[in-house]
Structures are given as C-alpha cells and as structure tokens.
C-alpha cells in the first residue's frame, strides 16, 4: 500500500507526550487514571518510545553510543524514563503510552482506531535477537542487537550496503485495557484486547477494530516498527520510536470477539491462540461470520468463498500467543461501503 494519502493531512485535536507519568512499562491494566480523555471522532498525535536501549544494563545514551549514535540523537524521553521509571518485576519490555479514555465507550462496544499518519522520531532502529528467541530459538548462540539506520528521504531501511528495505511503519502494540478479571497482563502476548499483535497491515491508512471491555476503552500504544515481515520470526522488527496520529471512533452496540482490521483493499479477521491450528480455525470462523453478517452470504457460501479467495497468513508467531489472519480482498465484491482512506494509484 502506498503510504501517501490523496486526502489532506489531518490536524490532531490533542497531543499525548511520552513522559514518566504517561507510560506503562511492560504491562497493561484496566481503570488507571487517564493520560488523556477525548471524544469519539477526535484525533490524537501520540509520542511512542521504543524499549530498545532501555532494557540493558547501560543507559540509552551509552547503549546507542556503542553504535555511533551521538547523545543529541537519543530521545530526551528515553533518558527521562530510564532514569525515573522502574520496570515492574516480571513485566515485559514494551513501553506503552496511555491510557486514552474515549468518552461514550462502554463494554460491548467496538473502538475503531484509524491510523492517519506515522512519523519517525529517530533515523535508526534496532533488531534484537539471539538464543531462545523467535521461531528458531536454537539457531543463534549469542545475543545480537543490530542497529539499522533509516533513510527518511528515500523511505528505506539500510539493512546493509547491498540490501535496502522499503519502510512500512506500524505500531506493534495497539490495545484497549483487558477485562478486569485478568488483572495486570503482560504486554508480550496479544489478546482479544489487541496488544502485541505485530500485524503489519495496521499501518497508515488502516482501521483497527477492538472490542471494548472497560469504560472509555482505555487505549495504549507502543512498540513502533519501521518495517516487519509476517510472523516477526526472529522475535523483533526494526524496533523504533514513532509518532502515530490516530483517530478514535466508538461504534455503539457493535460487539467483536477478536480484533479486526480494514484497509483500502482488504478486510482482515484474526485468530489468537497459543496453538497455531486453533488460531487458524478462529481466524477462519471470524471470516465466515464476517461474510455472513456483513455481506449476506450463507454459511456454505461464506466457507466456499473463503477457500477460493481468502488468504491466511501468520501475523504473529513469536510472542506466546500466535496471531493468524484471514485476508478478504475487497475487489471480489461488486460494491463496498466507502472507506475513509484512499491511497494513490
């Protein structure tokens, strides 16, 4: 998908900065004091901070200095959060900004998050892997943190002298607060509330739909990715600090079981489970349910159409809970409701 919209750039109604007071480190919880409260339909620019350089024994300035990054290019909020915030014992690594309360959102509703823009906060990111990580946990014997510079003008990641990867930024974590019965949950495994879904189709010009479990929805985001392939197979993407511009829309009385995504070209349903086969069945059931409810197909026709035109993919394969998506192309239908984002052709 081309990331340059033909519609004018939107102006945010509010900005939420990344500070020691507006972040959670490694977990998600419900009913915390709001970092920001907005109305349905409002747009927020959010500072998100990557955890890279903050989870080592060195402070971030010293960590990045080892890769030739001057202190002036290390974000001030990274330094402040490292100095002032202690990661809870047993918590995961991700730094999340929020919660954002959306007025009118109640349990049983759906919160739509429209991704209008994503800006890069720094011209470098890190891919961090090693023993025990990813889908090949025995492949490597030593931990490896590879710093990858970003050419923002040409919109490519400079993987090596011979390899350049087109940028396709997205937020690895977008979440509402989980059911209160779960208490504090780690930011590592995704769930019905979203979280660490690492789904590359949630970039600029997409809408993510999440079921609401608590008043206000209570939205968090973080874990910025400059680019990532399906599965995030070595345990990381190009992890980077980003600044997304997101619009929050409450759909009253619309209930979802699993996260869904819509882009200008596709509908995506998802399945989440520790068992990849179970996740696949959930994603396909969600696709069949979607085709019945939204396109008026019978169960038999929805199942047949899924076999003929719907693609399955592994969006997330490395964070305890697997995510499988079913991608339904819009161009197979003669008519579709208008979508808010129209990419350049």
Q: What is the CATH number assigned to the segment(s) 14-251?
A: 2.60.120.580
| Residue pLDDT, tens place only, 228-252 | 999 999 999 999 999 999 999 999 9
Half-sphere exposure of 85 (CA within 13 A, CB side): 25
Count Cβ atoms below 10 Å from residue 328 Cβ, excluding itself: 23
| Residue pLDDT, tens place only, 252-293 | 999 999 999 999 999 999 999 999 999 999 999 999 999 999
The predicted model gives 314-343 an average pLDDT of: 96
| Residue pLDDT, tens place only, 37-60 | 999 999 999 999 999 999 877 799
The predicted model gives 135-149 an average pLDDT of: 97
Q: What is the CATH number assigned to the segment(s) 265-332?
A: 3.10.28.20
| Residue pLDDT, tens place only, 66-100 | 999 999 999 999 999 999 999 999 899 999 999 99
Q: Let me know if the fold of 14-251 is the same as that of 265-332.
A: no
Tokens of 213: 């479990």
b/e per residue 15-26 (b: at least 16 CB within 10 A): ebbbbeebbbbb
End-to-end CA distance of the chain: 9
Question: Whats the size of the chain, residue-wise?
Answer: 345
Tokens of 211: 């079921």
Query: Which of the residue ranges 44-53, 58-67, 123-132, 315-324 would you say has the lowest mean pLDDT?
Result: 58-67
Q: 344 falls in which pLDDT band (50, 70, 90)? A: confident
pLDDT of residue 7: 62
Burial class (CB in 10 A: 0-12, 13-18, 19+), 173: buried
pLDDT of residue 55: 85
Q: 9 falls in which pLDDT band (50, 70, 90)? A: confident
Closest-CA residue to 221 (of 50, 7, 32, 42): 50
Count Cβ atoms below 10 Å from residue 209 Cβ, excluding itself: 20
The rounded distance, in Å, linking the Cα atoms of 99 and 35 is 5
Reduced 3-state DSSP string for the chain: CCCCECCCCCCCCEEECCCCCCEEECEECCCCCCCEEECCCCEEEECCCCCCCCCCCCCHHHHHHCCCCCHHHCCHHHHHHHHHCCCCCCCCCCEEEEEEEECCCCCCCEEEEEEEEEEECCCEEEEEECCCCCCCCCCCCCCEEEEEEEECCCCEEECCCCCEEECCCEEEEEECCCCHHHCCEECCCCECCEECCCCHHHECCCEEEEECCCCCCCEEEEEEECCCCCECCCCCCCECCEEEEEEEEEECCCCCCCCEEECCCEEEEEEEECCHHHHHHHHHHHHHHHHHHHHCCCHHHHHHHHHHHCEEEEEECCCCCEEEEEEEEHHHCCCCCCCCCCECC
The predicted model gives 116-125 an average pLDDT of: 98
The predicted model gives 128-152 an average pLDDT of: 97
Query: Which of the residue ranges 84-93, 199-208, 209-218, 263-272 would you say has the lowest mean pLDDT?
Result: 84-93
pLDDT of residue 245: 98
- pTM of the entire predicted model: 0.96
The rounded distance, in Å, linking the Cα atoms of 249 and 101 is 11
Look at residue 1 and tell me whether its pLDDT is greater than 60: no
The predicted model gives 217-221 an average pLDDT of: 98
pLDDT of residue 212: 98
- The residue with greater pLDDT, 334 or 58, is 334
* Domain assignments of the chain as residue spans, ordered by start: 14-251, 265-332
pLDDT above 90 coverage of the chain, percent: 94
Tokens of 46: 């959010």
């Amino acid at each position: 998908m081309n990331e340059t919209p033909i519609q004018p750039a939107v102006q945010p109604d509010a900005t939420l900065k990344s500070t020691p007071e507006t972040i959670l480190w490694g977990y998600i919880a419900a009913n915390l004091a709001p970092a920001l409260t907005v109305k349905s339909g409002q747009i927020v620019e959010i500072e998100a901070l990557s955890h890279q350089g903050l989870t080592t024994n060195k402070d971030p300035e010293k960590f990045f200095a080892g890769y030739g990054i001057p202190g002036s290019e290390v974000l001030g909020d990274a330094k402040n959060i490292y100095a002032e915030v202690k990661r809870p014992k047993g918590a995961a690594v991700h730094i999340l900004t929020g919660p954002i309360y959306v007025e009118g959102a109640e349990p049983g509703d759906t919160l739509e998050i429209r991704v209008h823009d994503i800006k890069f906060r720094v011209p470098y990111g890190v891919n961090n892997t090693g023993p025990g990580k990813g889908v090949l946990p025995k492949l490597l014997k030593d931990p490896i943190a590879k710093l990858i510079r970003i050419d923002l003008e040409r919109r490519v990641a400079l993987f090596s002298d011979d390899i350049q990867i087109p940028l396709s930024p997205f937020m690895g974590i977008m979440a509402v607060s989980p059911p209160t019965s779960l208490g504090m949950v780690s930011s590592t495994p995704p769930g019905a509330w979203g979280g660490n879904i690492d789904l590359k189709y949630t970039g600029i010009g997409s809408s993510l739909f999440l079921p609401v479990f608590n008043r206000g929805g209570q939205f968090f985001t973080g874990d910025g990715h400059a680019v990532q392939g399906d599965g995030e197979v070595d345990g990381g993407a190009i992890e980077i600090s980003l600044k997304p511009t997101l619009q929050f829309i409450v759909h009253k009385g619309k209930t979802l079981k699993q996260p869904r995504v819509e882009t200008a070209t596709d509908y995506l349903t998802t399945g989440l489970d520790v068992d990849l086969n179970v996740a696949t069945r959930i994603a396909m059931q969600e696709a069949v349910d979607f085709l019945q409810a939204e396109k008026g197909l019978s169960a038999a026709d929805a199942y047949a159409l899924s076999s003929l035109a719907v693609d399955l993919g592994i969006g997330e394969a490395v964070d305890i809970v697997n995510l499988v998506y079913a991608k339904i192309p819009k161009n197979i239908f003669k008519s579709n409701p208008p979508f808010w984002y129209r990419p350049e052709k």
